[in-house]
A and B are shown apart, each in its own frame.
Chain A
Amino acid sequence: MIHIQDVSVAYPKGIQALSGVDLHFERGEFAFITGASGSGKSTLLQLIYRELEPTRGQVIVDGHDVSQLPRHRVPLLRRKVGVVFQDFRLLPMQTVWENVGFALDVIGATKRDKHHRVPLVLELVGLADRADAYPDQLSGGEQQRVCIARALVNTPPLLLADEPTGNLDPVISLNIVQLLCDIADRGTTVLCATHDTHIVDAMQRRVVALVQGVVVRDEKTGGSYDAA
């Protein structure tokens, strides 16, 4: 599903965010991306939905080299990738319901389909009763869950979650990550960037650890930083 081959990313001013990263993820796989702040987790995820292009190497998603994608195909790639952004990126002037529905509007879903699916995902993240609130009327954790709901609503084959539990209390965190695992078990590829060691320990799934842009560890199952 995702092949990252010898990828390096250098930001302007010589910041080397990733160096020589080689990673492969199968369809339906679940993996944690761990590492300290600034180790390149978000950068790695941004490559996959083409918010960034690699300075070197190739990123292949679902058979397509992301850098070779013509401009008009980029939106189609992004529709296949649900993203839970680290900074949420909700539309401030739209309600929770509209924010989630927006991902469906973009793909031209029918009104009926929207009215069926939006309440479903809102229920799933526990926000059914806040559907009419605006993002600035929500707590950080609630906004984060709206973002998760939006990423899930059109059931993309690939889900990228960047610190999806960063603002959630331990119980909800565990629930959300369990939800992501269940989604993966139903065939969606899920990558979850986090520095929440408890969660990584609790789930015992594949762990990819980054240190200063280099993959230092990649294990099929495991705890947080134990072997690093």
Chain B
Amino acid sequence: MRLNTAQFLISQAWSAILRNGAITGAAITNISVALCVLGVFVLTAYNLQAQAMQQAAAVEITVDLAKDAKRAEVEKSLRANERVKAVRFVPKAEALEGLAQRWGLDFSTLSRVGNPLPDAFRVVPVKPDDIEAIAEQAEQIPGVAEARYAQQTTTKLLKLARGIKLAGLVAVIILGTASLLLVSVTIRLTIYARRREVRIMQLVGATNWFIRWPFLLEGWFQGTTGGIVATALLLPGYAYLASLISSNLGFIRPVQSTELMVALGIGLVLMGSLFGVLGSLIGLQRYLQEV
């Protein structure tokens, strides 16, 4: 494209944006509302999932040792597994003490009766997802009597986390499509208002791309601005809410990570610009069918 033409098209787009101030404003509002809803959904899903994962991560595997087990070798084998984050030895006395505490019994009385508990290792997985595999592998190690964990709770939590992830994805797709439609309808309105202009351009010999560019730039501008507005509303809002929740409801810990915020912001802006451009392309298609 020649520089003259590029300059001309950009100035056309810009003056159209200024001229159609009301429609441009409506389009930007639409896009930012849609993206805000999307963002709220993503944040909610992300937090629910993080919560479930956190709970699941608290689950440990208890690896009971057989009577004749060689403790050092079992520990070595356990640590050799790269999916294992931490391994801690729990002598049977400590285990009994824990038991006594949990049931409110007197430890010294209990230990006089005798300690039926085996020595054990507490194993923490790197990812909660791996808990089942680690337990199975641990049982293969010579000297291990049994590997136990709170199976039901963990599986439920993991299932929940996966479900939330999936539901979030589906919601993002649905909401994304809805916002795309919204944008394309808005842009179609802009184009409808200028359909005579479009026709005149065609009749004096403008190519369809020449006609498209200013609209695409306009759509891109609207989408990007919408994304920036959504980010500017959502991120501080979330940060405020998150700090409010974590200081007042101690048991819920909202995710407060800069990385997540940056990723969300970039995601919303990119999504806005993509929607703007795609929306104008879709909206234009009808009017540029005939030549």
Given A50-B291, A93-B19: A107 and B205 interface contact (C-beta under 8 Å): yes
* CB neighbours of A150 from chain B (8 A): 204
- Contact present for A78 and B205 (CB under 8 Å): yes
* CB neighbours of B5 from chain A (8 A): 105, 108
Given A50-B291, A71-B291: A83 and B4 interface contact (C-beta under 8 Å): no
Closest to B210 in A: A106
- Contact present for A109 and B205 (CB under 8 Å): no
Given A50-B291, A75-B207: A106 and B19 interface contact (C-beta under 8 Å): no
Select the residue from B199, B204, B210 with max chain A CB neighbours within 10 A.
Answer: B204
* CB neighbours of B205 from chain A (8 A): 75-79, 103, 106-107
- Contact present for A108 and B203 (CB under 8 Å): no
CA distance A72 to B203 in the complex (A): 13
The interface bits of chain A over 153-193 (1 if a CB of B lies within 8 angstroms of the residue's CB, else 0) are: 00000000000000000000000000000000000000000
Q: Which 9 A-B pairs have the closest CB atoms?
A: A78-B205, A79-B205, A74-B291, A106-B206, A75-B207, A75-B205, A108-B5, A89-B200, A108-B2
* CB neighbours of A108 from chain B (8 A): 2, 4-5
Given A50-B291, A74-B291: A106 and B201 interface contact (C-beta under 8 Å): yes
Residues facing A in B194-249 (CB within 8 A) are 196-197, 199-208, 210
* CB neighbours of B19 from chain A (8 A): 93
Residues facing B in A65-119 (CB within 8 A) are 71-72, 74-79, 83, 85, 89-93, 102-103, 105-111
* CB neighbours of B291 from chain A (8 A): 50, 71, 74-75
B8 at the interface (CB under 8 A from A): yes
- Contact present for B204 and A103 (CB under 8 Å): yes
- Contact present for B207 and A110 (CB under 8 Å): no
Closest to B2 in A: A108
* CB neighbours of B201 from chain A (8 A): 102, 106
User: A72: which of B8, B200, B202, B207 is its contact (CB, 8 Å)?
Assistant: B207
CA distance A41 to B200 in the complex (A): 20
Residues facing B in A30-79 (CB within 8 A) are 49-51, 71-72, 74-79
